[in-house]
Amino acid sequence: MHNIPGKIANGADRYKDAVHFLNGRFDCKVSAADTSGAMCIFDTFRDKIGGPPLHYHELQDEWFMVLQGDFLFQVGEERYRLAPGDSIFGPRMVPHAFRNLTIPARLLIVYSPALKMEAFFRAGLGPDSAASAEFEALHKEHNIINVGPPLSAEHEDM
């Protein structure tokens, strides 16, 4: 049975409890509880330049859509610039990373299946935790394997 949340306003979280993780705020729009675990959707608001390390998900596909700002993405060996309205797919087991190039920036992210991504983001790791043992342990616990550093400013010239 699905849990139907009703309308979720722009700038609001599904549970009225937005999460802060690394370089931004993550509003859950569709929860795993809403879809029997099939997917979850986050609207993310980036308030600092940056992004996650190059990583892959062992058990999940990830889809991204830029809502505001400009982003650089890497999926596999290829790099792409994305602007508002552009989207890109990150299949499971394929390394990917992104870097927002502007502030503000906003990115919609869909995880399928949802697994425990809500718990992952609720860990609330701040921007200074990206190279910590806690950061690596959290990733491994959620079947996310980091395989390289985040995209940096030098990657922006493409």
**56 found inside a domain:** yes
**147 found inside a domain:** yes
**Cα gap 22→58, rounded to integer Å:** 21
CATH number assigned to the domain comprising residue 84:
2.60.120.10
- With contact defined as beta carbons under 8 Å apart, do 56 and 96 qualify? yes
Domain limits for position 147: 20-156
Name the nearest CA neighbour of 155 among 50, 69, 27, 9: 50
42-94 pLDDT tens trace: 999 998 999 999 999 999 999 999 999 999 999 999 999 999 999 999 999 99
Q: Count structural domains, the chain.
A: 1
Q: Is 64 exposed, middle or buried (0-12, 13-18, 19+ CB in 10 A)?
A: buried
**73 found inside a domain:** yes
- Output the pLDDT for position 128: 60
**Cα gap 10→95, rounded to integer Å:** 31
- Output the pLDDT for position 42: 96
**8 found inside a domain:** no
95-144 pLDDT tens trace: 999 999 999 999 999 999 999 999 888 876 655 665 678 878 888 888 99
**14 found inside a domain:** no
**6 found inside a domain:** no
**Cα gap 130→78, rounded to integer Å:** 23
